[in-house]
Structure formats: C-alpha cells, structure tokens
Structure 1
Amino acid sequence: MYLTGQGVPQNKTKAAKWFQKAADQGHAIAQLTLGIMYDTGQGVPQNKTKAAEWFQKAADQGHAIAQLTLGAMYDTGQGVPQNKTKAAEWFQKAADQGNAIAQLNLGVMYDTGLGVPQNKTKAAEWFQKAASQGHAKAQFQLGFMYHTGQGVPKNDTKAAEWFQKAADQGNAIAQLNLGVMYDAGLGVPQNKTKAVAWLQKAADQGDKNALKALRILSR
C-alpha cells in the first residue's frame, strides 16, 4: 500500500522497509519485490548485487518470475558475474513452470548454443510453448524456423500462420516477413496489395528492410 499510495501517502522508502521485514521471514513475493526495488533504485539505493541476492532467495523458493529475472541477470552479468550456463538453468526452471518469456529465452539459447549445447529442435519446442501462449516474438521465431526448416520440417504455410499471429500483435519483423511472403506467394496466395500493406506497417515502425522492399515494389 505504501508502494502504490493506496490508503496511505505513497512512500517507497517505507514500502521497502516493510517488504524487508517480510522478506527476512522468507516471504517469496516480498523477496522478489525487494529485489525489483534494489534493481531499479526505488525506496532504496540502487544496488544490482543486492537485487540479485533477493531474486536468488525468491527463485530458490520456486518463484517463476524471480527465476526468470535471476536468469536475465546471469545472462547479462548484472549484479552477478555473467554466466550463460546459469542463465539457461534459471530460464529452464521458470520455463518449466510455464513462464512464456523464459520459454522464449531458453529457445533463443538453444537456437544459438549459448549456455546450452546448440539444439534447433529443442529451440523450436520452446518457441512453440511460448508462441502458444501468445508471445509475439516467439511466434515470429517459430515462423522463421518453419520458413527455414530449422528444428522443424520446412513449411511455409505454417511459417506464414505464425508470422501472421506475431504481425497482428504489431511485431515489425513479422510484418516484414509476412509482407515478403505475400509478395512471393510463399505459404499464402500471392497478393501484392497485402504485401504492401504489411510492409507499410513494418516501415511505419522504422523497419529499414521494409522501406527498401516498398521502394522495390513501387518501381
């Protein structure tokens, strides 16, 4: 209530003190929240190391968001020494609990071979899990794998379907790819009007490749 100013004047310093009391007693959500406050410098001096320590405590109790956040800190080396293997381990724990962002991140790690042995099939499986939950970037990644035949059999129809889902959510690179597929008639009936429309949406978001494609189509 102090954090949000409900029932009392907003006071993030007091909020942090009460979260600290609960966190010291092992309350996972308080530990996560205190970690966020140290991470962002709200109510306490910003301290990435302390943030990681509190995320660790909540993550050890099985809190998926804490596991995801701790994985991200190991991935980037904030508050802890950079360690891609540990990042993947924590992403795995959160992904196993159904966290879509962790599933996407784990898919990226399997796709690139960072922190885990490269495995395109596993990458596609994790992208599928996150994509099925509506995560736009995962939908694009899965579409790209179907388009290129990495980790899954090449299937431009499925690629277009996943690009469409991500494009509908405003993902610029999916809009670009969907436009290209309509232009070439890959996975969808060839339709120059739809191609231009999707390329324009991507271009409106500043996608330079979409701008180039539009110039070519307008010649």
Structure 2
Amino acid sequence: MVRNHYGYGLLLCLVFLQPAYAQTDNAKAAFAKHDYRAALLNWQAEQGDATAQYGLGRLYFFGLGVQPDFKQAVFWFREAADQNNPYAEFRLGLAYSLGDDEAAPDPEQANIWFQKAIAGLSKAAKNGDVMAQYLLGGMYSQGEGAVPDAMMANFWFQKAMGSFREAAEQGTTSAQYWLGQMYLNGQGVSRDVDQAIIWLSKAAEQNDLDAQLCLGEIYTYAQYDRKDSDLAIKWLTKAAEQGEPGAQKRLSAAYAARARPTDAATSAYWYRRATATEASSAATNSSSDAVKPINLPSSSKN
C-alpha cells in the first residue's frame, strides 16, 4: 500500500485528484467522473504517449480502478518522465520519498526527480500553467527539490490563486474547488475556512464529487471548527449518490457517528452499498485482460 502524502495541506480532501495537463478528452473526462476503469482503458490504448503513461502511473499509485501497485506506478511515471513530463517527474520524486510496504523510501532518488520536476514545472508555470504554479508553491513550501523558501512558495501560490480565482468567478468548477482548497490550507493567503466553504460549495453545487467530499470532511472534523453532522451528511450523501464507494463508506461512518434512532440502519445500508460497488468493480477488473498490469522489464527502476 502506498503511504499517504500530507504535503500542501491536502489532509482530507483527496490529495490525488490533481487536474491537469493535456490528457486525451476521453481519459480526462472519465477520470474527472471517477470512472477509473474507463480512464485506464483509454490510457492503455495510448501506450507511448507521455500523458497516458503518467495517467497510468497515477491509477496504480493510488489504486484507482486497479489494485495499488507501487512498482507499476513507478514504471509508468518513469516512462513519462523519460519524455520530460514534469508532472511525472514530480510524482516519481513523491513515490521515492514515500516508498511503500515493500520498498523503502529513497531520499536520494526523490531529490533527483524533484529537482528535475522543479526545472520542468518552472518553465510550464512561467507559460501560465496554473497547476505547475500550484505544485511549485507546494514544493518550495515543503523543500522538495529545493531549500524551503517561503517567499518563492508564496509567489507561486499567489500566481496560481489569481488564475484559479479568475476561472472560478466565471463558473469553472475545478477552479472553484482548487480556490477553496487554497483558502482551506492557507496557500498564498491566510487560512479562511469560511471562504473555503463558499468556493467549495459552488463547485459542490455543480456536482463536483471532490468538493462534496471535502465539505463533508470540513463539517465532520473538529480541526476546521465547523462540525455539523447534518451538513456533513448532506454533502456526503450527494457524493455517495454518484456511486463512489469511498464516499459511501464516509457517509456510512457519518450516520454511525450521528447516532440518531434510524441512523444505524442507514449507516449499514450505505456500507453495504460501498462493499457491493467494490466487489462489482473488482470482479469486472479481474475478468478483463485489458486491466491487468504489464510484466515489468527486469531493467526498470522501481
């Protein structure tokens, strides 16, 4: 199992869902809808394309639509990184810095790839790539591939925030989500949970699953000082109704924690829904050769 990464303050709001970078339309749309199997099939059909390779790495890294597989993730990230994809370079740095249950962290390799990522992301960021700007802010904040530099981190976070705000005010759902994240985590701005809720709510009302989940977490955990079980259940229900088993399990836990007279039965219902969804997905994946991992060449670095 890949260890969780807590960089950039994305503690509870699906750190892995970074929008991005010129994916094919079909794969991008499938990933955004959390249809990871469709994304997998699209990316597998485009082996040799750096963006598809990066996409495959993400699926294996986080176990989205497939079993988590650290070696497969590193293999695909390396394939994309060898084509100078800076996002893949960043993910390689992240993978090596974390390791997994079978591979110890490798700080030396992590630093090599983080340094490569900073160079590539800096070029993209200067050309207006908002996600590159955001990641650079995080890297300088965390000291990944560079000495920690609060001024540089703030510079890139503010660049990203300006771009996100402009798009968010025009109704772009993903920008509303990321602007909310930046307020929630105090990135380029003082932390402001109320502003975070405003922007996350705009995205959630457009049926953005990640925003709905994040609002559910905000209203669940005391650290945000906004605990409200009814609001948590409201947003988690909207997420769960989209069929994502992780959302269904969170909703089950929220009902169990609220513990009103009918909540135990409702909690059990959503837990059964989640396990049924997972079982169905596992059966579908195991029955198809198209979704099986490749046999890694012995020379691949992992």
Which of the five TM-score ranges fits, normalised by the shorter chain? 0.5 to 0.7
TM-superposition CA deviations, 1:31-86 (whole Å, max 9, x none): 13321233224788764323431332232203444433332332233432122112
Q: 1:67 to 1:40 in 2, by over 3 A?
A: farther
Supply the distance in 2 between the matched residues of 1:159 and 1:9 (Cα, whole angstroms).
43
Q: 1:9 to 1:52 in 2, by over 3 A?
A: closer
TM-superposition CA deviations, 1:84-109 (whole Å, max 9, x none): 11221222132223322211121233
CA contact (8 A) 1:128 1:142 kept: yes
Quick one: which of 191, 196, 208 aligns to 1:82? Answer: 191
Structure 2's unaligned 5+ residue stretches are 1-49, 55-79, 87-115, 279-302
Q: What's the offset of the Cα at 1:128?
A: 0.8
Residue 139 (structure 2) aligns with: 40
Supply the distance in 2 between the matched residues of 1:33 and 1:64 (Cα, whole angstroms).
18
**What is the 5 A alignment of 1:107-186?**
107-111=216-220, 119-147=228-256, 154-166=262-274
What's the C-alpha RMSD, in Å, of the aligned pairs?
3.9
CA contact (8 A) 1:67 1:94 kept: yes
Amino acid at match of 1:106: L
Amino acid at match of 1:37: L
Is 1:97 the counterpart of 2:206 in the alignment?
yes
TM-superposition CA deviations, 1:174-210 (whole Å, max 9, x none): xxxxxxxxxxxxxxxxxxxxxxxxxxxxxxxxxxxxx
Q: 1:57 to 1:121 in 2, by over 3 A?
A: same
Supply the distance in 1 between the matched residues of 2:202 and 2:160 (Cα, whole angstroms).
14
SS of residue matched to 1:133: coil
- Structure 1 length as normaliser, TM-score? 0.55
Q: What's the offset of the Cα at 1:146?
A: 3.5
Supply the distance in 1 between the matched residues of 2:145 and 2:232 (Cα, whole angstroms).
39
Structure 1's unaligned 5+ residue stretches are 24-29, 171-219
Give the greater-gyration-radius structure (CA).
1
Is 1:67 the counterpart of 2:176 in the alignment?
yes
Q: 1:67 to 1:6 in 2, by over 3 A?
A: farther
Supply the distance in 2 between the matched residues of 1:38 and 1:64 (Cα, whole angstroms).
22
**Bigger RCO of structures 1 and 2 (CA < 8 A, at least 6 apart):** 2
TM-superposition CA deviations, 1:123-170 (whole Å, max 9, x none): 2221011122344443233213434556x8724333112123445788
How many residues in Structure 1 have an aligned counterpart in Structure 2? 162
Quick one: which of 39, 46, 50 aligns to 2:155? Answer: 50
- Structure 2 length as normaliser, TM-score? 0.42
Supply the distance in 2 between the matched residues of 1:56 and 1:160 (Cα, whole angstroms).
41
**What is the 5 A alignment of 1:7-22?**
12=117, 13-21=119-127
Supply the distance in 2 between the matched residues of 1:153 and 1:113 (Cα, whole angstroms).
24
